[in-house]
Structure 1
Amino acid sequence: MKKLSARRRHPLAALVVLLFALATTGGLYAAFAPANSAQADSSQTLSVEQGKKLYAVGCSSCHGLSGEGTKLGPSLVGVGGAAVDFQVGTGRMPAQQPGPQVPGKKVIYTQAEIDQLADYVASLGAGPAVPTADQYAAGDVARGGELFRTNCAQCHNFAGAGGALSEGKYAPSLDNVSAKHIYEAMLTGPQNMPSFPDSTMSQQNKQDIIAYVEHVNNPAKNPNYGGLTLGALGPVTEGLFGWIFALGALIAVAIWIAARTPKAKKS
């Protein structure tokens, strides 16, 4: 007992106990920790590194080496992966040239590369994540129509055909836009569009709007019972049609009648 008591009072006893406890904890963690978690972390780290390389080549000249922004492009800190997936996934980024509106164009990155860019930008600061398929699943068409006419039709037109804004800007057409990108646009508010986070517009409301947009842009589900849509731009094209064709037809008929009316004989 005296020998054991003497060992406990040894100056290195506490250090030995600490090292033994750490070794035991590490061994237990290595034995029982899920391997998938470690693999996921490693995969995520690799994706961020690959995204950083892609960013340095294709994005840093406008947005800065660390996403801090420059005179040519805004800061990307805190925009989240959803903004990257929308902008790059629709071909808007990288932009061909600066201007009041960056149009969509052919996508130059693969989806895997877009995911890597999104992971890197997401690592710069917390922001909206890329939505999953269940988040942008279609909802109720009728309810979505009400929400769309209240929140979106002022710029995108009641049928999502797009419309002109001030100073060379415009709201793009929503025809052939994927449900994922519509959801991301509402979530992040790209360019001139206001953002609608879940605190402002719930996920269900976004799904309802997506259902309405898909419905009005699907001829099989929404046939044009009234005839030609004239671009679905409302009174602009309808008025233009009236002036050019209807009024033109009336003038042509008036000229035809005047040409065939016999002239009165002089007395």
Structure 2
Amino acid sequence: MRFLNRSAGRLSRHRRSRVAGLLVMLLGLLFMGGLYQVVLSPSNADTQTKSDEELIKEGRELFLVGCAFCHGQNGEGIKSADGQYGPSLVGVGGAAVNFQVSTGRMPMQNPGQQAPAKEPVYSEDEIDALSAYVASLGPGPEVPTAAEYDIDKYGLSADERRDAVVRGGQLFLTNCTACHNFDGSGGAMPWGKYAPSLRSTSEKNLYQAMLTGPQQMPVFSDEVMLPQDKASIIAYLESIKEEPSHGGFGLGGLGPVSEGMFAWLFGIGGLVGFAYWIAAHTTRSTKTKSSEGTQA
């Protein structure tokens, strides 16, 4: 009993200590904070998706700062004295904005025949906001999901997937090679324009390009080409990226133009140089023999 009384007294003294009180308060706060975070608190701002109204409002603010100078305060477009300065964005849809901004083509640094691809200026969240705002101006192609442009999301068997890639190659050769070349390396076009290389373009932007027809590219809407066919073309382009060049040096994949230039410059040019060297060497040998006979 005496031991128990001594222990109780010691605990009582510790409980009266200021440090003990502070420690109990901190433990209580930590416990209640953790309980509130797990059970009672609403979703975090990071995980909570923004409403459409908030996204559109944020997109409009970004639009007024970075886009309205060329496309107008409400996306109506601006005409200058010598023609169209910035086209109207009403009805182009979120997919067109997402493609142009995510590839860095917009905003343009300088007016020209064609907007080149560069590092994007806006973040992904800002691009989503801009796309949502322009989409609110009028109906147009929406930003696609992976279920549309990824052939693996269509639930195809291995044989069906292989057939889809083959069909994608046939569609690409029929509709795309005239501008983008047989392996997607791009090429020159009239009036200072060009078809860009598709070798480093993402699957999402390949789909959005077909869906919206940027620059001089035709539009392959879902009425013209089914979503699965567009996904098959993308799967074909992804497959040729992984294929080795069985023919040796690809010369940029530009086809007979680069191959013919290489043949003329290095093939025939090398033969002409070799023939000139043989002729020059023969002439020197003849002159040496002639000079020796004259001295004799």
1:68 is displaced (CA, Å) by 0.4
1:42 Cα offset (Å): 7.0
Counterpart mapping for 1:102-181 below 5 A = 102-138=115-151, 140-181=164-205
- Amino acid of the residue matched to residue 68 of structure 1? E
CA shift, 1:260, in A, is 2.8
Structure 2 residue aligned with 1:73, among 66, 72, 86? Answer: 86
- What amino acid is aligned across from residue 251 of structure 2 in structure 1? L
Matched, 1:260 2:281: yes
In 2, Cα distance between equivalents of 1:124 and 1:69: 12
**Structure 1 pair 184/254, CA: closer, same or farther in 2 (3 Å)?**
same
Residue 212 of structure 2 corresponds to 188
1:41 is displaced (CA, Å) by: 10
Mapping of 1:1-267 within 5 angstroms?
43-71=51-79, 72-138=85-151, 140-218=164-242, 222-261=243-282, 262-263=285-286
CA distance in 2, matches of 1:256, 1:126: 70
Larger displacement relative to structure 2 (252-261 or 81-90): 252-261
Distance 1:154 1:258, change over 3 A: same
Secondary structure of the corresponding residue to residue 78 of structure 1 = coil
Structure 1 residue runs of 4 or more that deviate by more than 4 Å after TM superposition = none
Q: Which runs of 5+ in 2 are unaligned?
A: 1-47, 80-84, 152-160
SS in structure 2 opposite 1:200? coil
Residue aligned with 1:134, SS? helix
1:247 deviates by: 1.2
- Counterparts in 2 of 1:41 and 1:231: CA distance versus 1, 3 Å: closer
Q: Tell me the equivalent position of 1:5.
A: none
SS at match of 2:88: coil
Q: Which amino acid aligns with 2:51?
A: S
Q: How far apart, in 1, do the equivalents of 2:190 and 2:226 lie? A: 29
Q: TM-score, normalization: structure 2?
A: 0.73
Amino acid paired to 1:179:
E
Q: Structure 1 vs Structure 2: percent identity of aligned residues?
A: 56
Moved more, 139-148 or 122-131: 139-148
Report the Cα offset of residue 259 of structure 1. 2.3
Higher Cα Rg: structure 1 or 2?
A: 2
Paired residue type of 1:181: N
CA distance in 2 between partners of 1:115 and 1:89 (Å) = 10
Opposite residue 248 of structure 1, the aligned amino acid is: G
Cα pair distance change 1:256/1:184, threshold 3 Å? same
Q: Aligned pair in 2 of structure 1 residues 41, 254: CA closer, same or farther (>3 Å)? A: closer
Give the 3 Å change call, closer, same or farther, for CA 90–41 of structure 1 in structure 2: closer
SS in 2 for 1:197: coil
Instruction: Please tell me the root mean square deviation across aligned C-alpha atoms, in Å.
Output: 1.8
Q: Which runs of 5+ in 1 are unaligned?
A: 1-39
2:102 partner amino acid: G
In the alignment, the residues of structure 2 paired with residue 263 and residue 254 of structure 1 have an alpha-carbon distance, to the nearest angstrom, of: 17
Q: Deviations over 1:229-255 (max 9, x none)?
A: 000001111111111111121112111
Q: Secondary structure, in 3 states, of the residue corresponding to 1:174?
A: coil
When you count helix as a share of all residues, which structure comes out higher? 2
Deviations 1:50-91 (A, max 9, x none): 000000000000000000001321100000000010000100
Q: What SS class does the counterpart of residue 78 from structure 2 fall into?
A: coil
Which has the higher mean CA deviation after the structures are superposed, 56-65 or 254-263? 254-263
Distance 2:49 2:264 in 1: 65
